[in-house]
Amino acid sequence: MYRAIIKAKRITGYSKQDFVYCSREVINRGKLQSRVNQIFKKRGYDLENYKIIIYKCYSGV
């Protein structure tokens, strides 16, 4: 399992850090950004007002 650190930067300047767990296949196929967007939508982020930046990605928990 990999852990991707995500910075959600709001258009107003406020930023928030969160993380998601993902598998190696998701990273290798380049699907991480869409997976992150999907998860963040479920967590209640309004994606129109946030810019989602994948900050770090590393293995382990």
Extract the tokens encoding 11: 């258009």
**Mean pLDDT of the chain, nearest integer:** 83
pLDDT (average), residues 21-47: 85
The confidence score (pLDDT) of residue 11 equals: 78
pLDDT (average), residues 10-15: 79
pLDDT exceeds 60 at position 29: yes
Domain ranges of the chain: 2-59
Phi, psi of 31 (to 5 degrees): -100, 5
> What's the DSSP call for residue 25?
H
Complete edge-to-edge strand list for the sheet that includes strand 2-10: 15-22, 2-10, 50-59
Residue 25 CB neighbour total at 10 angstroms: 8
Report the percentage of the chain scoring pLDDT > 70.
97
The confidence score (pLDDT) of residue 61 equals: 57
Extract the tokens encoding 2: 């990999």
